[in-house]
């Protein structure tokens, strides 16, 4: 019985970890998407920052979304293990974006770690699921200046 209770959280955490890796993949749903679509599916970023601003083709920015969820499907303490499964915790998702056109070049989860059962990957899963499920997938307009998003979030 104890082994079943320990196996279930590990399996559920593995599902969340898989979704995060899926979101980061170059062939995934989020990398290569339009930043406007990402904003439409998960909301206005909490922070934006110009990373390269030369006025050329190599200009980039980083947008960050923060998500916090206190609900968990399973919250228990077994001897020394504090296990939370089902999305409880804090998540930060960052997107590296081309300035011209707003193409998402990379997705990262800087505070999430897959090395523990109670990791924040579980908290990131609802955000990633929302982004993947509700992505409008509009074409990228090469004239769109993604830097117009910088400073939009306060």
- pLDDT tens-digit readout, 92-136: 889 999 999 999 999 988 866 554 455 556 778 778 888 888 888
Low-confidence ranges of the chain (pLDDT < 50): 2, 4-6, 8-16, 73-74, 115-116, 153-154
Which of 20, 24, 10, 6 lies closest to 123, judged by CA?
A: 20
Q: Is the pTM of this model over 0.85?
A: no
- Encoding tokens for residue 1? 């019985």
DSSP class of 79: T
Residue 94 phi/psi, 5° resolution? -115, 145
pLDDT of residue 6: 47
Task: Spell out the residues 6+ positions from residue 114 whose beta carbon is closer than 8 angstroms to its own.
Answer: 13, 17, 20, 121
Which of 103, 118, 130, 115 lies closest to 23, judged by CA?
A: 130
C-alpha 67/C-alpha 95 separation (Å) is: 14
C-alpha 126/C-alpha 76 separation (Å) is: 21
pLDDT of residue 98: 96
pLDDT of residue 112: 61
pLDDT of residue 2: 47
C-alpha 96/C-alpha 58 separation (Å) is: 12
pLDDT of residue 14: 47
List the beta strands (DSSP E) in 39-135. Answer: 47-52, 60-69, 74-78, 81-85, 89-98, 104-108
- Encoding tokens for residue 66? 């923060």
C-alpha 85/C-alpha 97 separation (Å) is: 31
pLDDT of residue 13: 46
């Amino acid at each position: 019985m104890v082994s079943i209770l320990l196996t279930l959280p590990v399996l559920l955490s593995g599902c969340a970890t898989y979704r995060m890796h899926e979101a980061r993949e170059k062939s995934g749903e989020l990398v290569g998407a339009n930043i406007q679509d990402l904003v439409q599916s998960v909301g206005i970023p909490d922070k934006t920052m110009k990373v390269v601003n030369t006025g050329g083709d190599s200009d980039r920015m980083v947008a960050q979304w923060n998500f916090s969820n206190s609900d968990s499907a399973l919250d228990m303490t077994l001897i020394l293990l504090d296990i939370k499964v089902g999305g409880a915790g804090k998540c930060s998702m960052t997107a590296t974006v081309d300035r011209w056109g707003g193409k998402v070049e990379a997705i990262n989860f800087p505070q999430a770690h897959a090395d523990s059962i109670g990791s924040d990957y579980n908290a990131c899963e609802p955000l990633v699921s929302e982004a993947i499920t509700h992505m409008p997938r509009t074409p990228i307009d090469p004239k769109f200046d993604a830097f117009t998003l910088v400073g939009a979030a306060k």
